[in-house]
Structure 1
Amino acid sequence: MKNTTEKILELTTIEQWKKAFPIMKQLRTDLEEETYLALLNEMRKDGYRLFALISGDNIVSLAGLSFRVNFYSKRHVFIYDLVTDASSRSYGYGETLLNYIHQWSKENGAEYVALESGVQRIDAHRFYEEKLSYDKWCYSFRKTL
């Protein structure tokens, strides 16, 4: 059931990051807490920010992002991590958090919000395209070294 007391805030302390870890682990299943904290600390040096939607006393959704600049998206926010707790899905938390990120990004000078999603995440793709009007406009590739 959706709680009526919701807030969105940037997580900036180790205690907050630890509280968020079980939710992040649902998306990044290969992470252990020690690695998560070490990578998060390093990523923050490169501008990574972690936002949480909190309902009552519980983190229910996370968005990890950073500002980037390139030729094709100009000044934009790239969302690296977006996850809603499995027990809290279908209550609109992800949409609420993304709408907040959209507004925050625009207020901070971004021209776009961009993200990538695994090819197997069909429901997520439908959510981005149909519910939030994202355009599917490219493929992303990587090579293991």
Structure 2
Amino acid sequence: MQIREMTLKELYPVYDLVKQLYTELSYDEFEDLVYDMRHMEYKMFGILERGELVCYGGAAVQTSLCHKRHLYVFDLVTDEKHREKGYAKMMLEYLQDYAKTAACEKLVLSFKWQGKNVIQV
């Protein structure tokens, strides 16, 4: 198992996983959005098992009055075939460590739960 930052050359496997979360998102729109988010230092992180991307987290260091300097996790998804194996927990732990090295005070996670947007601090 390997956890690492994904590169722009790996957009196809990232998209294949992300489309499980955002089913209406086309590849072209995904690619445009990823390139648009580069200005905010959006990072793509993946957990790979035997070379297969099984979990993805997209995040950026941000600063706000409410959360001060923090790591904002925009996207977190585990492949349907690999859910209930602890990969999301591993990714969140990795992102917490990344946040500490980036001098962030906290990690903020945005996600959908039962059709509603939720922000967890």
TM-score by length of 1: 0.77
Query: Which residue number corresponds to residue 65 of structure 1?
Result: 59
Query: Which residue number corresponds to residue 143 of structure 1?
Result: none
Query: Which residue number corresponds to residue 77 of structure 2?
Result: 83
Matches within 5 A, 1:1-145: 6-14=1-9, 16-120=10-114, 136=120
Structure 2 distance, partners of 1:51, 1:38, is: 18
What amino acid does structure 2 have at the position aligned with 1:54?
Answer: L
Identical positions, percent: 27
Is there any run of 5+ residues in structure 1 with no aligned partner, and where? 1-5, 126-134, 138-145
Q: Structure 2 vs 1, CA of residues 136 and 83 (structure 1 numbering), >3 Å: closer, same or farther?
A: closer
3-state SS of 1:8 partner: strand
Structure 2 distance, partners of 1:97, 1:81, is: 11
What amino acid does structure 1 have at the position aligned with 2:88?
Answer: G
Q: Structure 2 vs 1, CA of residues 29 and 9 (structure 1 numbering), >3 Å: closer, same or farther?
A: same
Structure 2 distance, partners of 1:45, 1:116, is: 19
3-state SS of 1:43 partner: helix
Deviations 1:71-106 (A, max 9, x none): 111100000000000000011111111100001111
Structure 2 distance, partners of 1:23, 1:102, is: 22
Between 1:60-69 and 1:43-52, the stretch displaced more is 43-52
Larger-Rg structure = 1
Residue 22 of structure 1: how far off its partner (Å): 1.0
What amino acid does structure 2 have at the position aligned with 1:109?
Answer: A
Residue 117 of structure 1: how far off its partner (Å): 2.0
CA contact (8 A) 2:110 2:120 kept: no
Structure 2 distance, partners of 1:75, 1:53, is: 25
The structure with more strand, counted as a fraction of residues: 2
Is there any run of 5+ residues in structure 2 with no aligned partner, and where? none
